Amino acid sequence: MAELALLFLLLPVAAATGWWVARRGERARRSRSSALSSSYFRGLNYLLNEQPDKAIEVFLELADINPDTVETHLALGNLFRRRGEMDKAIRFHKHIMTRPNLSDEQRALALYELGEDYMQAGLLDRAERLFRELAEHDSNNVVPTRQLLSIYQQEKDWEQAIEMARTLREDGPERGELIAQFQCEIAAQALNDNDTERARQALRQARRYDPRNPRARLLEGDLAWSMEDWSRAADHYRAACDLDADCLIQVLERIIECHRRVDDPDALDDWLQTVVERSPMTTPLIALAQRRAANDPQGAADLVLDRMARRPTVRGLKYLMSLLVSEGARLDRIDPALVGDLLDRLLSDQPLYRCQHCGFSGTSYHWLCPSCRRWNTTRAIRGILGE
């Protein structure tokens, strides 16, 4: 229906053309307007009857008849692109660019739409040429620059992506963050290629553009790890976790191994204790409890119980059960209400029903799926968290 609505936007264009001609009061132009309006309706009829090839021929002829229909033809080309008919969209937009007497604005718009066609068709090299032309023509227009950024990211051409990002106006942290991420990509590739010097240079640039980028710290840790500099690797990994607590999930095992290599378990325990006190995450809590469990299983159980009383998690409960089975810890202090509260929270966030056709899920049963509008496709969810 949205496509049909767009098509009917052409009707006022045809009417406006006829009004303009009548206003001029010239018989020859009045005749031309009548033919133009008739052609528009004929083209619309072809589109509405799913005959796009015939419609294209009509509208392309109209482009030669009336030089004021560029925007209408661009809209038609966009319609074909949205329908996934890329060959038709490209044909439309290329034809418009061959038109004489286009204004600079109209030509730029046609170039942009053709570039969009090429991008969606996967012809990235052709899209790149058009967007580069637009970017060079108007350096204040960031739209083609962002499209070039998208192309270079898809192609993993990080040097070109950096070049484009540098042309963005400095309207906030986005420019620096983008360049830092691209430099991290270069550093990661250099590490894979064992090119340590290139990795160092890229990481220096990453920290220059975004000093608080945790990924740069992680990669610096990887660089030190590759050189078996365990102390420096641990420092970088911990710094990344300080900037972004989620990094801990990625590198905790390496941090533990680094401390084992330098034989400094006390420093590891102190750091884990600090992380547990400031973070609600379960991973560092279990890591600290596992270290304590080697000498004091009951102390490890008490530590987890204390934290779970404030924020219960399934992983925490599972670890407590493992202590009970493997370490002989006593769980006399565990409150049955704690387990009940945990299960209630777990189940309260789970959908009860799912559409078998589109996957729409929710807590209410629908005979008519609100998403795909199919009847009788909703079923109760089965499995460990369902029926």
Asked if the 1-121 domain carries CATH number 1.25.40.10, the reply is: yes
pTM higher than 0.85, yes or no?
Answer: no
Q: Is residue 241 a known part of a binding site?
A: no
What is the spatial distance between Cα 121 and Cα 205, in angstroms, rounded to a whole number? 35
Residue type at 126 in one-letter notation: R
Q: What percent of the chain has pLDDT over 90?
A: 25
pLDDT digits (tens, 9 = 90+) for 340-383: 666 676 666 678 888 999 989 888 878 788 898 888 888 888 76
Q: Is residue 358 a known part of a binding site?
A: yes
Taking residues 297-317, what's their average pLDDT?
80
Token digits for 48? 């509405």
The secondary structure of 95-151 as a DSSP string is: HHHT-TT--HHHHHHHHHHHHHHHHHTT-HHHHHHHHHHHHHH-TT-HHHHHHHHHH
pLDDT for position 222:
95
Q: What is the distance of C-alpha 245 from the center of its chain?
A: 21
pLDDT digits (tens, 9 = 90+) for 175-216: 888 899 999 999 999 999 999 999 999 999 999 999 999 999
Q: Is residue 258 a known part of a binding site?
A: no
Choose between 174 and 329: higher pLDDT. Answer: 174
Cβ neighbors of 36 (< 8 A, separation 6 or more) are: 14, 17, 18, 62, 65, 66
Q: Is residue 247 a known part of a binding site?
A: no
Let me know if the fold of 1-121 is the same as that of 170-263. Answer: yes
* pLDDT interval class at 333 (50, 70, 90): low
Asked if the 349-387 domain carries CATH number 2.20.28, the reply is: yes
One of 2.120.10.30, 1.25.40.10, 3.20.20.70, 3.40.50.720 is the CATH number of 170-263, namely 1.25.40.10
Domain positions in the chain are 1-121, 170-263, 281-333, 349-387
Q: Is the pLDDT of residue 57 over 90?
A: no
Q: How many Cβ atoms sit within 10 Å of the Cβ of residue 182?
A: 27
